Structure 1
């Protein structure tokens, strides 16, 4: 159990860390400072407290039991007892436990290692090089990684290091990446071919095409998460947490300095260390807390980080051969888990009732209500069913969504309206802001949607000369269009959309709002239509309502949107 199946648990932790570094919160290195300092003090202070109570003897070997956090149990406790919508707090705590887990696994692998076999270490190094080369070569099949990780595990087991090191390091080496547009288009073509010719060969090709789109890191996480969460961790707990409390064992444990070193280290040390680390980092302006997260909520999560459980029990088994010491330390871990959860719950309640910190998430309501005299829309301007999109003309997935949205608008007919707002991601898409201004300049001449379609059709050609060419293709007044491209009023119009996106919790593109609430999850036409029906109910055609053809006649293809400075819509 401890040397085999638990390696998969640590592999999943490593995969999560690598994904955060490649695609998640840790891609922005500015967000690392606060959780890194908090994690460092959240490791050092508990160890110091433990060693202050157990400075010498065999009991001192248990100091590693108080440095780790059981991420799954801690996040589960936060979900049950923490604030409503704890998304931002969860991300912060997950980032913090990334460093926590790396430190704990390093301690397991080094401080509690047996005699080192250097030949096995050489094989480990070769396996790590092989994983790096596989990732650099863009290998997307599972089996080369699986074989390499299996050899790495065997080598680590023979080296004298704890095999958990193999799991964590392997996870860190498995690449994670965003789907590329070329891979998505290729998979789509293969699926269409299978739809036209549903034969086994076509099906296998379509399956391989879909697998290539999603990184090996994310595929392994999806496959392994259920096994680690619902089987491996519970079985590990059954195998390691059993304590016979009869014959005065509990009384002896509750009077043991080892037990209380574990309890105080985990409960007090974790909460105080992480809390002080956050205060220090924010006061020195090394970073900020995530938007929407208050210090009281961080302190509640810090207290719940004292749930060491899996990490602590594993280290106890490595640190002590004496069953009495193992029992005393295990009782401390179990008692600390209860007290840490209770303390965290109390802090969350105080933060909510006294400081009003009831939620810890990005805003999810549309900050700027829809205004058809200003917003660009398709469909019936007076319709209740409203879908708002924040998009970026250089974002490939926004471009891919364009046809789907036209289809969805057609299906909604006179009962719905689609609103387009700008969110150019200037840090990754250097031409997006200028393209947004070009769309607004075209809107001044009554042709926003024509320019919209051309910009998405030519996302790789958005230089100024290209924009002028699209204006000429649409028959716009080129002199006026060129002047408008430099009009600061249009730049302010785009910035206003960007600010409303930020205030509404939109951080990427495309981001959709169904009515006034941000949509999460898949955004294909079927999901969005189902969400619209869920929120607004299925609309009924009202007698005398205008038809879609009537609207097209009145407003032009896809609805009207004259934009600032143009005549108002009929």
Structure 2
């Protein structure tokens, strides 16, 4: 009999040295929460610094940011203030990273499947429209109704950072939902900046920009030296946007949407591995460079650029933007004026109430109508907290205030509204998340299968509608999962069609380097009806699950290799595995194998006799 201390679903600290069942939270794979948290705190710190600076010495604050910089040769020169340099040049890099994320989500991310994307897309659209309508209703007659764009967009950086700071105990599914929503939100905000807040339009430079963008697209076909070409063309496109009157930050988005994104190709990965082995056998500079270049090229330039620029955006660009734009005077006279200003209240109500009603209301209606899917663990109380966080509209709100309002006093009132709305939204979201966590009983957390078995979606071995069910969350490189699956098959020999066995993925990505690839390979095999055959082949050889081994297994099983390799890098396969991992996180699964017997979590040994006993206890009916 298997030692119970080894197979406990909540792993015992004294587990064996191999640590085969231990893994960190799945949320760690979905996002770099530490960087988001630090970035949000740094953004908050520079915001406070700007406010203090402006209130201690408004003159020096304004004088500093109005300092002129001139760059050029002879008659060709650019004249910028420091403020414009931050808002027009550095923020183009920020919008470039936003564009990269948009491109990725539509190519291989959460927005590839319409059924998967329906709820966050609808929530984002409602979150754009409702705040704008509320703002116009409240600010009507103030003369600043045109500034409605200041309340439409959530601040993605603050949103993700706030979720890391104050989010619920299990934020993974909510974070994916909010990031998908934020992508659509950003598209709406960028479109409005281009269409509504472009005052002086000169079409001719856009022809130069179009030629530059065409060059960006075709640069992907260069055999080498693409980096300098991308950089040179990006500067040309940015200058052309600047000359056209279209806000130059949109050049960053246009360029990003043309940068290629793809899942790593098996042949590229194999070539990188071969070069790395060659370097290991004959270490020299030439082989080292070739191996490094091959490894780098196996990852799409979109993802490489996101990784490269993310720290600069989080730690430099956004904090500088806050320092240059958040300097609001907060003396009693200004606060009194803002308190009585319909512009200020329009911003506050638009962001806090509008986002809450738009995002939460649309999600609740779609759920009520059973249209779209929120996913296991993402209940409406979680969505309510996420909708409250969306009321933090800091970066783009301040950005549009600067574009839409000319009067300095009105700008000040609008900025007070943005800051006040961000604080209120943060506090409101904190309260909602704390209440949401408090009302969830700890003793039942994760004890019930979060997503019921769906024969049309799940991988079911046996009668899909059998009276007894065992669901296993596992990892194809985990030795304990091999033993558990063997025991379950023994139980099937006893019960026959009265038992259905369901496999769901929970790969130990920090322990088993090939586990995620193995899980995705079984999903690619499932498209040809070979899920359990492929899974058994993986269990039979747990030490050899590299890309070449995966292709060999597919060939041995007689699968269509061309279709298999195409499915292997598809967004659908990635999404299936990720959904299971998010479900596992929602149920606080911290070890594998984790078994659910007739929908309830199983604790204890998982040999065949123990499982038969557990099935009897689950139904109060002898199973044999």
Q: How far, CA to CA, are the matches of 2:95 and 2:578 in structure 1?
A: 37
Distance in 2 separating the partners of 1:209 and 1:108: 40
1:247 offset after TM fit, Å?
A: 6.3
TM-score normalized by the length of structure 2: 0.64
1:209 aligns with 2:294: yes
**258, 261, 264: which is aligned to 1:176?**
261
1:205-354 alignment runs, 5 A limit: 205-246=290-331, 248-354=333-439
Contact 2:128–2:152 under 8 Å retained in 1: yes
Show the counterpart of 1:372.
483
> In structure 2, how many angstroms separate the alpha carbons of the residues matched to 1:83 and 1:271?
17
* Partner residue, 1:425: 523
Listed as ranges, the gaps of 5+ residues in structure 2 are 1-85, 452-470, 475-479, 489-502, 562-575, 596-624
Shift of 1:195: 2.5
Shift of 1:426: 4.5
1:439/1:452 contact within 8 Å kept = no
Q: Deviations over 1:340-374 (max 9, x none)?
A: 011111111222223559999x9899657857375
Identify if the C-alpha distance between structure 1 residues 391 and 161 changes in structure 2 by more than 3 Å, giving closer, same or farther: same
- Give CA-to-partner distance per residue, 1:178-218, whole Å, 9 cap, x none: 11111111112222222333322222212211111111111
For 1:34 and 1:450, the matched residues in 2 are separated by: 39
In the alignment, is residue 124 of structure 1 matched against residue 209 of structure 2?
yes
Task: Measure, in 2, the Cα distance between the counterparts of 1:266 and 1:325.
Answer: 18
What is the deviation of 1:313?
0.3
1:128 Cα deviation after fit: 2.8
SS at match of 2:439: helix
Contact 2:537 2:553 (8 Å CA) reproduced = no
Q: How many residues align?
A: 446
CA distance in 1, matches of 2:191, 2:181: 16
Q: Which of the residues 223, 227, 245 maps onto 1:142?
A: 227
Answering whether residue 552 of structure 2 is matched by residue 458 of structure 1, we say yes
RMSD (Å), alpha carbons: 4.1
* CA displacement, residues 390-441 of structure 1 (integer Å, 9 cap, x when unaligned): 699xxxxxx9949x99xxxxxxxxxxxxxx999821577526437438859x
> Is 1:111 the counterpart of 2:196 in the alignment?
yes
Answer whether contact 1:23 1:178 (CA < 8 A) is retained: yes
Shift of 1:333: 0.3
Structure 1, 344-353 or 63-72: larger mean CA deviation: 344-353
Write the distance in 2 (CA, Å) between the matches of 1:235 and 1:452: 49
Give the unaligned 5+ runs of structure 1.
Answer: 378-387, 393-398, 406-419, 468-498, 519-570
Q: 1:389 to 1:190 in 2, by over 3 A?
A: farther
Q: Partners of 1:366 and 1:328 in 2: how far apart?
A: 57
Q: Distance in 1 between matches of 2:542 and 2:354?
A: 61
Equivalent pair of 1:140/1:215 in contact (CA under 8 Å): no
CA contact (8 A) 1:86 1:359 kept: no
TM-score w.r.t. structure 1 length?
A: 0.69
Indicate conservation of the 8 Å contact 2:219/2:226, yes or no: no
SS of residue in 2 equivalent to 1:321: coil
1:386-401 alignment, distance < 5 Å:
401=514
Q: Give how far 1:9 is off.
A: 0.6
Following superposition, the deviation at residue 501 of structure 1 comes to 11
Q: Which residue of 2 aligns with 1:31?
A: 116
| Secondary structure in 1 matching 2:193 | helix
Alpha carbons 2:389, 2:425 under 8 Å: kept: yes
Give SS of 2:130's match.
Answer: helix
CA distance in 1, matches of 2:157, 2:543: 49
Deviation at 1:143, TM superposition (A): 2.7
| Whole-angstrom CA distance in 2 between matches of 1:334 and 1:340 | 10
Question: For residues 427 and 343 of structure 1, do their structure 2 counterparts lie closer, same or farther at Cα, with a shift above 3 Å needed?
Answer: farther
